[in-house]
Amino acid sequence: MREVTKPVSRRRGFRLATAAAAVSLMSGVLMTGAAGPGAVASGAASKYNVVLIPGLTTDPFYITMGLGAKQEAAKLGVNLIWKGATTWNKSLQIPIVSATLATHPSALLIAPTDDVALFKPMDAYVKAGIPVIAVDTTLKDTSILTAAISSDNYQGGETAADAIARLAHDKGEVAVINVEKGVSTTDLRQAGFLAEMKKYPNMKVVATEYDNDSLTTAESQARALILAHPGLVGIFGTNLYSAEGAAKGVDAVGDKGKVFVAGYDAEPAEVTLLKQGVINILVIQNPAEEGRLAVLDAYNYLTGHKSAIQKSVLLKNVVATTATANNPAVAKYYYKTSL
């Protein structure tokens, strides 16, 4: 007989896990069952094995997501399993997704590394009666998803455009350095940036580059862009390596303060560059909350409370600048590598 449980509401607050929890996260299996306010009795939901497959396991963004997921799993008594590739690569992620299906998990939480190529392996879970929840990235065809949780990436791109325009006094040339085509989140960031830039008649987008998630490639591209476009006033890097590489390229040619860099995320290297004024703007996501909500959705689905699940959730971004980089209200959103 199915146990009767109450649907769990979506709370916006979260606490990060303890240092021991961070160690268990990286070991591959997240331990659960911690007692505390609102926690279920030990073993009450231990029959649920939820797998979280991030875009890559070594990125502080996804580590922060894992910590948020781990905390919620411990509260609900769910066994959370963390596994994935150490680099962003659909050819590496697909075999992991397919092999994991053979373990018959209760639910799959996943950041697909390609919005088309991952459809078939994710659909195999749905056909096996296993709910699939997308976190951070998603699919072009979302019909198979129980839920999709991400930040508002289009709005994040708009924000980056407005911030560069403000620093450049609404005039000059700008460029985008993106990862690769076919990644839902960065595609949306680029689209939002390009659309927003059309609102500035004295500004022009002169190039869109793809760095294949390589910092050194992004740095070379930034150097080349500055040489080719003397009127360049801004570069938008759509993710960690794009932003960091662009910033290093600008700094290397001595254009710090002339070419403004807007980046995405708040990983340690980016935060350091932000405080130094090499990166001027960071659009920061809330990966811990994404992980927490994904576990909560899986739990509500598995305990028969599907009506408590929102099909699509877009979390607001936080904007940091060099001037606000040390503000505690901003700094609390910086990503974790460990506790």
Give the model's confidence band at 18: pLDDT under 50 very low, under 70 low, under 90 confident, else very high. very low
Length of the chain: 339
Q: Classify residue 305 by burial, with Cβ atoms within 10 Å: 0-12, 13-18, 19+.
A: middle
Q: Contact at 8 Å (CB) between 298 and 107?
A: yes
Q: What would the pLDDT profile of 116-144 be if each residue is shown by its tens digit?
A: 999 999 999 999 999 999 999 999 999 99
- Is residue 176's pLDDT more than 70? yes
% of the chain surpassing 70 pLDDT: 86
Give the other-Cβ count within 10 Å of 50's Cβ.
27
Q: Measured between alpha carbons, how far is 302 from 313 in angstroms, rounded to an integer?
A: 19
Give the model's confidence band at 169: pLDDT under 50 very low, under 70 low, under 90 confident, else very high. very high
SS3 176: strand
18-27, 100-109, 150-159, 216-225: which range is least confident on average?
18-27
- At the second CATH level, the architecture of 19-145+287-314 is 3-Layer(aba) Sandwich (3.40)
Q: Measured between alpha carbons, how far is 282 from 323 in angstroms, rounded to an integer?
A: 11
SS3 209: strand
Q: Contact at 8 Å (CB) between 321 and 281?
A: yes
Which amino acid is located at 114 in the chain? D
Give the model's confidence band at 184: pLDDT under 50 very low, under 70 low, under 90 confident, else very high. confident
Q: What would the pLDDT profile of 320-330 be if each residue is shown by its tens digit?
A: 999 999 999 99
* CATH number of this structure's domain 153-284: 3.40.50.2300
Q: Measured between alpha carbons, how far is 304 from 76 in angstroms, rounded to an integer?
A: 15
Which amino acid is located at 96 in the chain? I
- Is residue 256's pLDDT more than 50? yes
pLDDT at 255: 79
CA terminus-to-terminus distance, the chain: 40
The sheet carrying 232-237 orders its strands as 203-210, 172-178, 232-237, 260-264, 281-284, 318-321
Same fold, 19-145+287-314 and 153-284: yes
Annotated domain spans of the chain: 19-145+287-314, 153-284
- Is residue 45's pLDDT more than 70? no
Mean pLDDT value of segment 182-204: 96
Strand partners, 312: 148
- Is residue 39's pLDDT more than 60? no
